[in-house]
Structure 1
Amino acid sequence: MLTRPQLEKYADVLLWGLTTSRVEPYKPGDVVLVQYELPALRLAEAVYAKLLARGLNPVPRLALTPRMEKDFYSLADEAQLVFQAPGQAVLHENVHGAMHLLAPESLTHLSAIDPKRIAAAAVARKPLRDILVRREEKGEFGWTLCLYPTRELAEKAGMTAREYAAQVTAACFLKEAEPVAVWRGLYEEAREIKSWLGSFEAVALHIESDNVDLTVTPGEHRRWLGLSGHNIPSFEIFTSPDWRGTSGRYYADQPSYRSGNYVRGVRLTFTDGVVTDIAAEQGEAFVRKQLAMDPGASRLGEFSLTDKRFSKINRFMANTLYDENFGGPHGNCHVAVGSSYSDTFDGDPATLDGARKEALGFNDSALHWDLVNTEPKRVRARLADGRETTIYEDGQFRY
């Protein structure tokens, strides 16, 4: 799918992303987990060599194949479903970075699995994720995520393999002579926009499009994040709002694949911060089960905007990493139901305990599901003095 020079450039960009995603610099001897799916083997090999050259200790892990994953959810008994391999917690307590190379060979192999079984396994793994969140809050851990093009992705997105790979290379600037330099430039532009957004100290955001009329409360002690190296590519600028102040209706016109299920046309109504009505043009039963996963699954964990001037993505990609960064003619906004990001706290996230997060309205859940709207829209910020100002319109920030 990608040429050797493109693979080397991709690996360089991922190294930039991993380095940028962590507060503290990496030191020789630090441990980096490299989790990859089989089609991404050549990219994993390129990354592995570059990590070694940096004096780091890569730990490669091959993800489950579609058959193994289907067999797990089909055949595992209740104890096996929540089983955690010995040493997992030890690894999570000692790993300094992680790279996740997504390359799915199937998007629908879990379509016949009861979503409750998938949810049970996700809830069981949450303590491991919490370890990494805590360590990231302390600046001890960083991560990055990318996508390697596969024929399955291309087919589900309605493209040829060549067209799909072209979207990936364009989005990650792999045809540029120095793609890392391009990412550094975007990083600086995004930093200025985030600072501008933070200067408003908005008490509410109002999002309007043909099918969206939603009010989101940014909350106290929040900051905007984005282009932090965590996701490659990443053009979104986001915050984790106070979930209690969410009200109105939201519509995701962008379809999504999740846990083997194809979902389209999700409509959510929020009342006093909680989803009170759910509808979908396809996959409604699955959506309802996902949002019933735990108490936080029906609350808002993220609000995000993507500027069309940054993103080169102009097609549905059948993958959330790309679809949540869609540029196209109108940019996009997306919300995530489920867990919030504690690093949107404007102080030291390491000082946040569970009680403090709850008091500030940071949501907690085993779920984090991004739902994308690409309609033309306007986003207005309501300020403490009652004034309103438009911060986003025609697919771009009014910066």
Structure 2
Amino acid sequence: MDDGMLERLADLIVGVGANVQPGQVVAVGSEPGKEALTRAIVRSAYRHGAKFVDVSVWDLHVKKARIELSREEDLDFVPPWFGQRMLALGDMRGVRIALSGPVEPTLFAGLPPERLGRDQLPFVPEAMKVVNDRTVNWCVAPCPTEKWASFVHRDLEPAEALARLEEQLVHIMRLDEADPAEAWRSRVAAIASAAERLDERGFDAIRFRGEGTDLRVGLLPSSTWTGGAMDTVGGISHIANLPTEEVFTAPDPQRVDGEVRATKPLVLGGTTIEGLRVRFEGGRAVAITADTGGDVLEAMTRRDEGAARLGELALVDREGRIGPMDTVFYDTLLDENAASHIALGAAYELTVRDEADIDRINRSDIHIDFMIGSPEIEVDGLEADGNAVPVLREGVWQI
């Protein structure tokens, strides 16, 4: 990616996604191999008036060493300053920017799943708290790397694969538009409109049906659909995911039943999970199997009481730019915005209206999205009397 396009991408992430304001402290989470975009984001943040930009780099090889060599009793240990740092950023009404895209998609292959499931870093539970408290404006965005590109486009030479991935990301991020910011404002408005229509229907549950999938996800009485932009407690509007193509809500963690087949692979750190199948009974994931890597996810669901229950339900139409590419990106940010999905673990408080339902949403130290939608999966809204209303057919809204 040339310097001009890199600067355009950084400005989009900083100015439109995170919406950095003058005087804010900006925390940037990166990895080795993402230096060029990281530095461009730092420069953009200072141009937008940042008070200070704090860059942290997480190296998966360091995590691998811990998984392989740490004492069993130490695997759950997280230095207290990790969480305190996150809470301090919220207290300062700061900004979080994180760069997605796997730098080592198969690094953890062959490592013991039980040990992998116990080490959640760099994720810390305090990250969910600052999101629920709406004390930070934040954005997660993709960063192309050669190893990621070669994993996605395995039939191409590394340089060609990287060029192809960068070309796709330019389109996905709407950087090929004359005014990317305006293009995102238009898309966000369309997503918000879909959320409003879903809210108006007040469905009791959402049902997914298709090959390998027959899943019913109950909703709470005040489950609220949201999508596109979010606002902090201080009124700063931001787009938490760039790209974003989803509308999402909080499911009832006690009312999820049936079987579901993942329609795309899932990458957790350096583990790739393919052919994932999950069976739910009474809200709990009681059986998790996969062609590869399923034991890692199954181990994670034993972390706490809420880890085997759902905290998010998201619907995605076909009007976004990711799905039509028919490419598996092996990156949750991109793949979840190509297809409807659910998430095991913690729910977002902003997806319910009533205080009583906030107490009922799922709580957990994990939040793991996996994709269950495709043009072949029918999505219905179920009314309280059991009447089924078509919601998505071949990726097109029916409401």
TM-score between both structures, scaled by the size of structure 1:
0.87
C-alpha displacement of 1:285? 2.6
Alpha-carbon distance in 2 for matches of 1:365, 1:198: 26
Verify: 1:393 aligned to 2:393, yes or no.
yes
Instruction: Show the 5 A alignment for 1:121-136.
Output: 121-122=119-120, 128-130=124-126, 132-136=127-131
What's the counterpart of residue 236 of structure 2?
none
What's the counterpart of residue 17 of structure 2?
17
Report the CA distance shift for 1:278/1:91 in structure 2 as closer, same or farther (over 3 A). closer
What's the counterpart of residue 192 of structure 1?
193
> Which of 272, 287, 291 is 1:262 aligned to?
272
Alpha-carbon distance in 2 for matches of 1:341, 1:250: 22
C-alpha displacement of 1:363? 1.2
C-alpha displacement of 1:58? 3.5
Which shifted more, 265-274 or 158-167? 158-167
What's the counterpart of residue 234 of structure 2?
none
Q: Secondary structure at the match of 1:343?
A: helix
C-alpha displacement of 1:188? 0.9
Please say if residues 40 and 102 of structure 1, whose CA atoms lie closer than 8 Å, have aligned partners that are also in contact. Answer: no
C-alpha displacement of 1:82? 4.2
Alignment deviations for residues 145-183 of structure 1 (CA, whole Å, 9 cap, x no partner) = 111111211222234222222221111012222111111
Alpha-carbon distance in 2 for matches of 1:381, 1:120: 36
Alpha-carbon distance in 2 for matches of 1:168, 1:275: 34
Alpha-carbon distance in 2 for matches of 1:190, 1:292: 34
C-alpha displacement of 1:9? 1.6
C-alpha displacement of 1:53? 2.3
Q: Secondary structure at the match of 1:105?
A: coil
Which shifted more, 4-13 or 240-249? 4-13
The share of aligned pairs that are identical, in percent, is 24
Verify: 1:50 aligned to 2:51, yes or no.
no
Q: Secondary structure at the match of 2:119?
A: helix
Verify: 1:336 aligned to 2:348, yes or no.
no
The letter for the 2-side match of 1:210 is E
Please say if residues 6 and 175 of structure 1, whose CA atoms lie closer than 8 Å, have aligned partners that are also in contact. Answer: no
Q: Secondary structure at the match of 1:185?
A: helix
What's the counterpart of residue 114 of structure 2?
116
Verify: 1:248 aligned to 2:263, yes or no.
no
C-alpha displacement of 1:79? 6.5
What's the counterpart of residue 173 of structure 1?
174
C-alpha displacement of 1:36? 1.3
Alpha-carbon distance in 1 for matches of 2:57, 2:111: 19
Alpha-carbon distance in 1 for matches of 2:40, 2:288: 44
What's the counterpart of residue 98 of structure 1?
96
The letter for the 2-side match of 1:129 is P
The letter for the 1-side match of 2:118 is A
Q: Gaps spanning 5+ residues in structure 2: where?
A: 155-160, 230-238
C-alpha displacement of 1:105? 2.8
What's the counterpart of residue 221 of structure 2?
220
Alpha-carbon distance in 2 for matches of 1:119, 1:290: 4
Instruction: Show the 5 A alignment for 1:1-399.
Output: 2-15=1-14, 16-19=16-19, 28-78=22-72, 81-85=75-79, 87-95=81-89, 96-122=94-120, 128-130=124-126, 132-159=127-154, 160-228=161-229, 229-313=239-323, 314=325, 315-326=327-338, 332-346=339-353, 357-358=358-359, 360=360, 362-373=361-372, 374-399=374-399
Alignment deviations for residues 272-306 of structure 1 (CA, whole Å, 9 cap, x no partner) = 11122222222333332232232222211211111
Report the CA distance shift for 1:90/1:213 in structure 2 as closer, same or farther (over 3 A). closer
Please say if residues 102 and 269 of structure 2, whose CA atoms lie closer than 8 Å, have aligned partners that are also in contact. Answer: no
Please say if residues 117 and 297 of structure 2, whose CA atoms lie closer than 8 Å, have aligned partners that are also in contact. Answer: no
The letter for the 1-side match of 2:348 is Y
Please say if residues 11 and 47 of structure 1, whose CA atoms lie closer than 8 Å, have aligned partners that are also in contact. Answer: yes
Q: Secondary structure at the match of 2:219?
A: coil
What's the counterpart of residue 23 of structure 1?
none
C-alpha displacement of 1:248? 0.9
Q: Secondary structure at the match of 1:176?
A: coil
C-alpha displacement of 1:97? 1.4
Q: Secondary structure at the match of 2:202?
A: coil
C-alpha displacement of 1:261? 2.2
The letter for the 2-side match of 1:281 is D
What's the counterpart of residue 157 of structure 2?
none
C-alpha displacement of 1:78? 4.9
Alpha-carbon distance in 1 for matches of 2:132, 2:84: 18
C-alpha displacement of 1:395? 0.8
C-alpha displacement of 1:125? 7.4
Please say if residues 82 and 121 of structure 1, whose CA atoms lie closer than 8 Å, have aligned partners that are also in contact. Answer: yes
Which shifted more, 171-180 or 307-316? 307-316
C-alpha displacement of 1:340? 1.6
The alignment's C-alpha RMSD in Å is: 2.3
The letter for the 2-side match of 1:397 is W
Aligned length: 376
Q: Secondary structure at the match of 1:244?
A: strand
TM-score between both structures, scaled by the size of structure 2:
0.87
Please say if residues 111 and 259 of structure 1, whose CA atoms lie closer than 8 Å, have aligned partners that are also in contact. Answer: no
Q: Gaps spanning 5+ residues in structure 1: where?
A: 20-25, 327-331
